[in-house]
Chain A
Amino acid sequence: MHTYEPVRSRRLWLLALGCIAPLSAHATDAPQRNPAPTRANWAAIADLPDLSGVWAPGPLDKYVPGGPEAPQWLPAVARQVDHLKQLDAEGRPQNIYINCLPEGLPSSVTQNLNSVEFLVTPGRVTVLSELDGNRLRRIWTDGRPHPADPDPTFSGHSIGHWEGNTLIVDTIGFLPEVFIPLSQGVGFPNNGDMHVEERITLTGPDTMRQDIVVHAPKVLAAPWHASRSYTRHRERSYDLAESSCRQGDFLEATDAQGNAAFVPVPKDAGGATLPPDQATAPAIPTPSGTHP
């Protein structure tokens, strides 16, 4: 029978320590742990605004394009954005979500067309979504600070606290490639140092508002303010679905041995599915006006 034996050799112990120590700037600090929730922790959640359940986002009411609430880009960026908007208008969109990477903030708030689910548990609020695949976002409410140098991610590192009916969220630590979107066809990377502030407010029994302020000093001339409203749905038809962003790239088929298999679906450059016999090259364009 195998049993765990502590390292008895002093030499081995020192060797092990020598390997570990350079990885930690504070070798003497105890490793940080998430404490097991207590009955009191669970009970305290009943006194918080109830964000639980599935929420359908409202209209994309963030701004009127060209209006005072549209993102104010730095001049050099504005020229590039104008070019991207022109390409989009010509039917050659930039397609900022086409690679199936997570959309991240602020897209997951401002561009989302699918439901989101909030889970409020001791020390954290978890946001699940199904755009374009299932996504996970954690907002730590246990009082921890941001890490001094967080690993950059799509959704960043979020910490939050409650003020009345509002969850105040602060997020840093974004990958510089994460887009500030104008649409699914046009966006601009934040280019680094993005900082996002959010206020998530229960405004009625089943209504919620999410105000977001995006600070992106490398590309924006001023913080961008956007907001989104949500309606809660307790109907089971609104339960989040399993959603894999890449599943649509495959058809269910049967292989030569009769086994179930996924086969790739042909796509055009913009990501649209194509008939298999026209996968590689466009047909000769149909002269305009000759469609039936």
Chain B
Amino acid sequence: MKPLICVLAALAMAPLAAPASAHHSFAMFDPSKPMKFEAIVQNLQWTAPHAVLWVEAGKVGTYEAGVWSLELPTSPANLAKMGWSRMSVKAGDKVVVEINPMRDGRRAGQFKRATLTATGQVLSIGAIPGVQPPK
């Protein structure tokens, strides 16, 4: 009885419209319209299968000011081999991000590169030795 109740409770709480993400294609991002803008780091979501850099930006072109979700094309395990760590950026860091934006106009995109304003350090997605560069 209890497990069923738990399952029902979980179902009731789950946002039905939101699919699990897992390993997904990046076809929703448009590589033909690359963007570059200044932002403040909120959080580096250090999770598999894709890490996510959450930043806040002012008005960018036609985009209203707000939070952006910038998805990295691979997982912490692979990012660590490229020199990243979960401490690579921290909340409040000023960065210039380079992304491929989501096609439907929402403030989301594929992360390509970030430059830390304070130090000039560049964080990018490299190739893992012996592994095909992430798509």
Contact = CB atoms under 8 A, between A and B. Distances in A.
- Do these two chains really belong together in a complex? yes
Interface of A: 56-60, 88, 91-93, 95, 97-100, 113-115, 130-133, 183-185, 230-231, 233, 237-238, 240-241, 243-251, 264-280, 282-286, 288-292
A185 B103 CA distance: 17
Given A283-B106, A291-B35, A247 B23 contact: no
Q: Label chain B's interface by main secondary structure.
A: loop
Q: Determine which residue in B101, B102, B107, B135 has the highest number of CB atoms from chain A within 10 A of its CB, and name it.
A: B102
Interface in B37-71: 37, 43, 45, 47-52, 60-63, 66-69, 71
Interface stretch (B11-19, B88-96, B114-122): B11-19
Q: Determine which residue in A113, A276, A285, A289 has the highest number of CB atoms from chain B within 10 A of its CB, and name it.
A: A113
Q: Label chain A's interface by main secondary structure.
A: loop
A236 to B, nearest CB: 11
A56 B25 CA distance: 21
Contacts, number: 201
Contacts of A58: 130-132
Given A98-B22, A274-B108, A291-B35, A241 B80 contact: yes
Interface residues of B, number: 57
Contacts of A113: 74, 78, 131-132, 134
Given A270-B25, A283-B106, A288-B33, 11 more contacts: A58-B132, A113-B78, A132-B75, A133-B48, A184-B24, A248-B48, A272-B24, A274-B106, A276-B67, A278-B66, A286-B63
Nearest to A283: B105
B71 A273 contact: yes
A56 B131 contact: yes
Contact of B75 (A130, A276, A277, A286): A130
A98 B68 contact: no
Given A57-B130, A93-B27, A113-B131, A100 B20 contact: yes
B8 interface: no
Nearest to B32: A288
Given A113-B74, A290-B62, A60 B48 contact: no
